[in-house]
Amino acid sequence: MEPRFRETAFIKGVAQVEQLPPDDGIEIAFAGRSNAGKSSALNALCGRKALARVGRTPGRTQEINLFALPPDAAWRLVDLPGYGYAKVSAGQRQHWDRLLGDYLQSRECLAGLVLIMDIRRPLTELDRQLLEWVPLERCQLHCLLTKADKLSRQAADKQLHATQRELEGLGIEATLQTFSSLKNQGVDDLRGLLTEWLQPVED
């Protein structure tokens, strides 16, 4: 079955994992440092202007936002709170850490995580921390190196390969691609991959 990304619709935002919908169906989550371009990437993926709000005051997006992805009522896209915004209290940071960590580690219907990173600064300390929470034995990982339009094609490819090698060095299996929300570059590749993730696993 083909997902209809353009029909993606907001379900709800939750501030506690207890408020999440029942842990069934298939979820694909999006994570990244605040300002990495996660909202823009989600909007480009869904062909929408304002599904996720771009340039929101960083640090304000404290909730996990869930979206329904037709036509299968069991498919959801999950916008995880951006991390790494400096001007927040220790308490607030702790809250996000727990929310993100709890979600990633406990959510059994999580089929895959798309990690959004600025192509000029991939795999920061905080991205590596997040990766430690991802249950890679049951959850696929795709790294989206976004804002690729900020680099030449050659420099972007170089960053892609360097990031791939770094992940290999960390023993992390992942797919990677360059992406630009501004130029709509890489959108079809991302849609194709997520479509594969949504197919039922055959035993």
Q: Considering only the stretches 17-25, 28-36, 66-74, 137-145, report the one whose residues sit in contact with ligand GDP under the rule CB under 6 A.
A: 28-36
Under the binding rule (CB under 6 A), the answer on residue 39 touching ligand GDP is: yes
Please tell me the distance from the alpha carbon of residue 155 to that of residue 119, in angstroms, as a whole number. Answer: 10
Q: Does 145 bind ligand GDP (CB under 6 A)?
A: no
36 sits near ligand GDP (criterion: CB under 6 A): yes
Pick one of 14, 17, 54, 172: the residue that binds ligand GDP (CB under 6 A): 54
| Chosen residue from 70, 182, 189, 191 binding ligand GDP by CB under 6 A | 182
The b-or-e profile of 85-124 (16+ CB within 10 A means b, else e) is beebeeeeeebbbebbebbbeebebbbbbbbbbbbeebbe
Contacts of 34 (CB under 8 A, 6+ apart): 58, 59, 61, 82, 83, 84, 85
Give the binding site for ligand GDP (CB under 6 A): 32, 34-40, 54-55, 58, 82, 146-147, 149-150, 180-182
